[in-house]
Structures are given as structure tokens and as C-alpha cells.
Amino acid sequence: MSKIKKNFRFRVLECTFDTISNLISQNLIPQIMTKKSKLKKFFHKIRFQYRVSVLNENTLEESWHFRLSRLSVMLYVSLFVLITFILLAILIIATPIRYYLPGYGSMGDRATFISKSITVDSLEHQLQLHSQYLTIIKGIVAGDVQSDSLIVIDSIGLTKIAEDAIEQTKAEQKFIAQYEQDEKYNIDVNPSNTNKRTVFYRPAKGVITPVYSDNRYGISIATGANEPIMSVLDGTVVMARLTFDYGWVIQIQHTHDFLSVYKNNTKLYKSEGDRVKAGEVIAVAGGGSLDNANQQFYFELWHNGDSRNPNEEIIF
């Protein structure tokens, strides 16, 4: 056992001696020693302390002093930079200054930007419409635009013809007389009811495209270019203005609580407060295509706040 240990030690010493011999032969030991000495000098250099004194200018006496090394200076500077960064981060995060950073914003900013963009687009479109309106007015004042010819219609004669067309038969007259006699003293009869039917004038000539339904309050009529739009009954203009959705719009209040609305006009010949007759031209509509109902003349008829089907009230 002792012989084995001696042989092992001998072999270890032999290997160590060979390794050292190889290092010496390759000049590696001096290099290793040089590196260690450089590291030692470096650490000694950065840890070497300097005395910083503050002297009195008159007496040259030392007021106070402190010791610093290069390592301590680096540590103090790093600590100062770290504390400054933390304080600035807290200041930016906890105050409204963060909103000035690029790419940072609140959750409601996107919705606000979209809403403002839509508003700006609407204003631009409205300005374009006003610009077109002013261009037309300037052309009229300068005499460059000729006024359209108006169609003179005898509305009183047409009303009389329409009333004669629905003249009551003898059976109807007998039934009406009997009904009036029976209901003469009935206090439940509404005195506002009347047996006289209201005759409407056709608002425009054209082709009715989308029919009246529960989802639509009126009908669209595909007309020709510069088609005259006429009032369906006698009445008073209650609204005449340019709108964003339907262009030039005019509304007329009639008797028996009827209200007619004319939309998508290109010109208006009446203003608010004007009195109109049945069949009188009140506006002009453009020739919208059959495929695009939003550009066609649009007509609505209302009675006591309820929408009425124009096809059932007017003969087109």
C-alpha cells in the first residue's frame, strides 16, 4: 500500500515537473506573472486613497478634509446616476408629464381623435356645400346662370276637377244623409271628422324605386334633370334649409294636420314662412340614378305625427 502511494506521488510530481517544463519552454510563466502583476497594480491603483483638503485662504490652515479613491468615486457617481434615474422615472409616471412622451396616451384619446376626425370631415363637406352655394349665388348675381322656366298651374281648377272626379253617387249621398241624421245628437261624435276626402297633387314626375315600408318613412322618386318639385297641398313652408344628409330640404305644413317633406333637392324656390298652393313649384330636383336611392328625390307625408304611405294617398 505504501509502495502504491509512493508511486502515485512520484507520478504527480513527474506530471507537475513536465507541466512546468512545458510552460517554461513556451515562455508562458512570465506572461502569467506579468498579467497577475498588472491586475494587482490596477486594483491597487483604483483603491489608492487621495486626501482632499479645504484650506483657509488667509491662514492656509486646513478647514476640513476627506479621503477618496477612484473606486469610491465611481461608486458614488453610479449611485448618484441610479438615484437620479429613479426620481425622474417617478416624476414622469406620477405626473401629467407622461402625456408629452411620444407613444404614450390615455385609453380615451383614440376615441377622441376619431370623433374629432369625423367632425373635421363633416365640416369640410359642409364647407364644400357652402362653397358650391356661394358659386351659384355669384353666378346668378353676375347673370351667368339663367333662371329656370316655371310651370304655371291652375291649382284651383285642378282641385275642382279632382273633387268632381270623386263625385258621390246617390246611394252614397243617401247613406251620408242617414248617418248624419242618426248621429246628429250623439255627443261622442268628433266634430273634427269630415267626410270630405283630401286630394293631393303629385309632388314630382318619375319612377318610384324603393317602395314604402316600415323601415322607410317615405318614397324615393327617380326624376329627370332639373325636374320641378310641386307642393301636394296648400300650406305654409315651415322649414327650408341645406342639410348634411339630404341636401336642400323643404317642409310644408298643410291643413288637417298634414305635413309634407321634400328632400334631396338641388334648388329651393321658397323660404320659411311663404304660403304655397297645391301644384305650385317649390324646388328643383336633380336626376339621381336608379341604382343609388340616396341621390334621388325623397318624399315623406305625415299626418298627426304618424308617417303615411304616399302611394295610398297620392296617384302617381
Q: Give me the pLDDT at residue 194, please.
A: 44
Q: Are 76 and 131 found together in one domain? A: no
Question: The domain that contains 245 carries what CATH number?
Answer: 2.70.70.10
Q: List, as one string, the DSSP characters of 101-126.
A: STT---THHHHHHHHHHHHHHHHHHH
Longest dimension (CA), the chain: 153
Domain count, the chain: 4
Its domain, for residue 122, covers: 106-147
pLDDT tens sequence across 22-52: 655 555 555 666 667 777 787 778 888 888 8
Is the pTM above the cut of 0.75? no
Q: Are 54 and 74 found together in one domain? A: yes
Q: How many CB atoms lie within 10 A of CB 130?
A: 11
Report if residue 172 sits inside a domain. Answer: no
Q: Give me the pLDDT at residue 4, please.
A: 46
Q: Are 281 and 142 found together in one domain? A: no
d(CA 231, CA 200): 9
Report if residue 187 sits inside a domain. Answer: no
Report if residue 276 sits inside a domain. Answer: yes
Phi-psi region of 69 (alpha: psi -120 to 50; beta: other; left: phi over 0): beta
Q: Are 216 and 287 found together in one domain? A: yes
Q: Are 213 and 253 found together in one domain? A: yes
Q: Are 92 and 224 found together in one domain? A: no
Within 8 A by CB and 6+ apart from 241, the residues are 248, 249
Q: Are 41 and 58 found together in one domain? A: no
Q: Are 300 and 283 in contact (CB under 8 A)?
A: no
Residue type, 7: N
pLDDT tens sequence across 200-253: 999 998 888 766 666 678 888 888 888 999 999 999 999 999 988 888 999 999
Report if residue 31 sits inside a domain. Answer: yes
Instruction: Give the whole-number percent of the chain exceeding pLDDT 70.
Output: 68
Q: Are 281 and 201 found together in one domain? A: yes
CA dihedral 122, 127, 130, 131 (to 10 degrees): -140
